[in-house]
Each structure stands twice: as C-alpha cells, then as structure tokens.
A and B are shown apart, each in its own frame.
Chain A
Amino acid sequence: MANPPFRRPEGRPAPAPGLLRRIDAFARLAFPGVSTAVLMVLAAAPVSLPSPVLAAALPCVAFWTVFRPAAMSPPVTFALGLLMDLLTMAPLGAGVLVLLAVHAAALRLRRFLARQSFLAVWLAFCVAAVGAAALYWALQALLALRLPPIAPAMHGAMLAAGLYPLIALVLTRIHEAMRIAENTP
C-alpha cells in the first residue's frame, strides 16, 4: 500500500503508537493465549465428555503456533500447559511438556504447513494429536509410577482431531480479521 505523501519514506511506517493503538496491539497479542485459556476452562466444566481439556488446548496451540507464532510464544504455551495440569488431575508438568512439544513441532514445520491446504494441515494435526496424547499418557505413567488406562488418552486425541476443523474455522476468521486490522494503518 502507498505511504501517505507527507511522510518520509525511510521513517517508521506506522505513526507513533498512541494509547488506543497500543491497547489494540496488546489485545491482538494476548488474544490467542487468553482465548485458549478460556476455552480450556470451559472445557473443564463438569460435563460428561472424556478429557476435553487436552482436546481443546491442542488445536488452539497448534493453530496459533502455525499462523501467529508471535502471540503463541513459548512462555504463553508454558502458562497454558500449567493451566491444563491444574485443571485436570494430571501430575504437574506433564501437560506443560506436551503443549511445548506440540508448539516446538508446529514451530519447526510452520513454514511448510502455512503453505499447505487445510486438509493437509488437519492430517498433520491428527498425527501430532495422537503423538501428543501418547506422550501425555507416557508422562502420566512415568510421573505417577503406575499405568493409567490408555483409552481416555486416545479419546482425547480423537476428540482433538475432530474438534480441529471447528476450532480452525473460527480461528481462521479471527486471524483474517486481525491481519486486516493490522494492515490498515
């Protein structure tokens, strides 16, 4: 887009950030983490679904890591993992490591994934979800020193895989809206 004629071409492209603009930017930066946390808290509400917290957290973390890594930074992922461990009865640290692993994998592959079609991303996410659930289960077994049943972990992975299109649909809309808002001066 063309710069306004009165601005020097080598200067900063945006005007000096005012309070509103700064709040706006901060809201955009904070939205992924906060929305994921809210979704996890809602998923932890007592309904009769098997392990929906992991299933709610995985798609959000993966999506935001691929499409907006600045907002889903490792510290945010860490905080979300801690929240997940506290919301569920898992041993402390297991959820943190699982979310960080998903985050790291998505970060490594994001340049490749961002160019793929939705279906390919979904397939990759399914593989990641099964891996994450297996890692989660293994960590729980290791930290509690007893074998928990594997069925809930697999249910969580399948639920995450099934929830991904739904969450991704909504998040894509929001992501587009944010990008448009960022690109207009």
Chain B
Amino acid sequence: MIRLSIPLRQALARLSLPLMIAAAFGVMLLGKADALLAERLRSHLADALSPIYAALAEPMSAVRGAVEEVQALAQLREENAALREENDRLRRWHSAALALESENEMLRRQLSFLPEAAPAFVTARVVADGGGTYARAVLLATGPQHAIRKGQVALDDRGFVGRVTEVGSRSARVLLATDMNSRIPVTLESSRARALMVGSNAARPRLSQWPEGVMPVDGERVVTSAEAGAFPAGLPVGVVRLSDHGAPEVELFARLDRLDAVRLFDYGLRGILPPEAVARPEPRQGRR
C-alpha cells in the first residue's frame, strides 16, 4: 500500500464522492458521445459472464421444470374434471345416436329406402397456397393415376374446403370457400332454409340470398345443399356467426389457413358445367 500523510488521505476521502459524481457525468457524456462504446463493453462483459450463466442455466431450468410440473398437475386436475364431464355428455349423445340409428334402420326397412353409395375419395397433399387466378386457392400434388376431375369436392378432416377448379396431369387447384369467386349453395341446418355462401377473400364467407322470413341464427350449423346438383347435401361446412355489423357469416369447420392434405370426393355430380363445355353460340354458316 502507498503510504500517504493523514491530512492528504482525509482530503482524498472527502473529495472522492464529488469526484466520483463528476466521473458519473463524464461517463454519461462518454456514453452519449460514443454510442458504440457501451455496446462493445456490454458484449465484452457478456462474453466474460456467459460461463457463469451457462452454469446457472442447469439448476434454473430444473427449478423451472419443477414449477411447470406443478402447474401442469393443477391443470391436469381441471382438465380431468372437464373431460369427465364431457365424457358423460358424449355418452348420453352416444346412446341417443345408437337409438336414432336403430330407429333409422327400422324406418328405412319399412320404406325400402335406396341407400347412397359410399363416395370414392383420394387424399392429396397441399403443396402451395395461392397462385393462379384466385386469391384463395391451394395447389394439390396428385398423380396421373388418380382421375381427378373439375368440380370434385374437397374436404379436410373437419369439413368443407372447396372445389377443384383446374386439373393438370400432376396437380390440381382447389378454389377455397373463402375466395371472392366462390359461391356455395348451403342449407341452414335448423331452419332448413337454403342460402348462398359467398366468399369475400376474408376468413369468414358471408351468407346471402336466404329466403324471406328466415334469419340465420348465431351458432346455427351450415351444411351443403344439393341445390343445382353441384354438391351432395349435408356436408359439414361451418357455423353461422354474426359479424360486428350484424351480417351473418360462416365460421368454417375446415382450417383453411393450415391445410396440409385434403380429401377429394367424387360424388359423380355433373351439376356445374366446366367452362369449356358451355356451348358458345357458333357463327352461322351458309348465310351472310
């Protein structure tokens, strides 16, 4: 240690606080003058401290894991209760469905009802979103061995997705129900009213053209209608939701923003003519 005389040391001790405060202002000025200096110093310090933090990370992650485990246990309890309740409800529905099924069976036997053939379908992978003429369309990778045809109905695991509009030898384009050009005839399930589901390029297509006297109710299920022979009746489409302005929209069951594979159903319907089949008025011949 350097030996200093006592008065000098006292003077230094008394001076050190003002000196340090002045130095603090100096540091402030320095930090303002050279903005990169602080960043450089910070990165040096972080480099020096990173082994400490790396060593700390292990026990800390263990503690965090334990806390999360406890939280997960609490959540598990709640989830369990909810699941049990849902299970009860589903069991009731299950029995109702069984009863209805047997009743249906019995009624069909009495009516000599003609059963519908199970539709054939192929599953194709979605390889690209968008592109082409339409704003909301997806491209599917198909093979030449699949007989994909225009007008086929595309469904994902939850519900209606759209309709095949273009077919190549190894790809097919599906126009989604949300596209502005999409018009889908639908039935409101509880009122059995027919309506048109009109895409608007937004997430929820609008409903329009419902008959007078019927108002789509929030939460009502929407299924396809066999009107015009383009779709089979009863494919699940979505649920009616009223927009902020009170206009009825359809919240689709299908998750159109995260499609990875869709099923293309061939119901053998030829209700919508492909554009090239529409007869153009041919120029008259033989006369002028």
Contact = CB atoms under 8 A, between A and B. Distances in A.
Interface of A: 41-42, 44-47, 73-75, 77-78, 81-83, 85-87, 91-94, 96-97, 100, 103-104, 107, 143
Given A46-B53, A87-B45, A143-B32, A100 B24 contact: yes
B15 to A, nearest CB: 9
B37 interface: yes
Contacts of A45: 52-53, 56, 60
B176 to A, nearest CB: 41
Contacts of A91: 28, 31-32, 38
A87 B31 CA distance: 15
Contacts of A77: 20
A150 to B, nearest CB: 21
5 contacts: A81-B24, A85-B27, A86-B45, A91-B38, A92-B38
A184 to B, nearest CB: 23
A178 B96 CA distance: 80
Contacts of A87: 45
Contacts of A100: 17, 20-21, 24
A97 B24 contact: yes
B170 interface: no
Nearest to B32: A143
B17 A143 contact: no
A75 B19 CA distance: 9
A35 to B, nearest CB: 15
Interface string B25-61: 1111111100001100110010001001100100010
Nearest to B45: A86
A62 B86 CA distance: 58
Nearest to A97: B24
B238 to A, nearest CB: 39
Contacts of A104: 17, 21
Given A45-B60, A93-B27, A143-B31, A78 B45 contact: no
A97 B28 contact: yes
B53 A96 contact: no
Interface residues of B, number: 26
A159 to B, nearest CB: 18
B66 to A, nearest CB: 14
A143 B20 CA distance: 19
B17 A92 contact: no
Interface in B89-120: none
A44 B13 CA distance: 31
A167 to B, nearest CB: 19
B36 to A, nearest CB: 11
Given A45-B56, A74-B17, A143-B32, 9 more contacts: A41-B52, A45-B60, A81-B24, A85-B31, A91-B32, A91-B38, A92-B30, A92-B41, A100-B24
A75 to B, nearest CB: 6
B32 A97 contact: no
Given A41-B49, A42-B56, A104-B17, A96 B32 contact: no
B17 A93 contact: no
Contacts of B16: 73-75
Contacts of B30: 92-93
A46 B46 CA distance: 12
Contact of A78 (B24, B31, B32, B41): B24
B81 interface: no
A37 B26 CA distance: 22
Nearest to B37: A92
A84 B56 CA distance: 19
B23 interface: yes
A47 B57 CA distance: 10
User: Of A81, A92, A143, which is in contact with the most chain B CB atoms at under 10 Å from its CB?
Assistant: A92
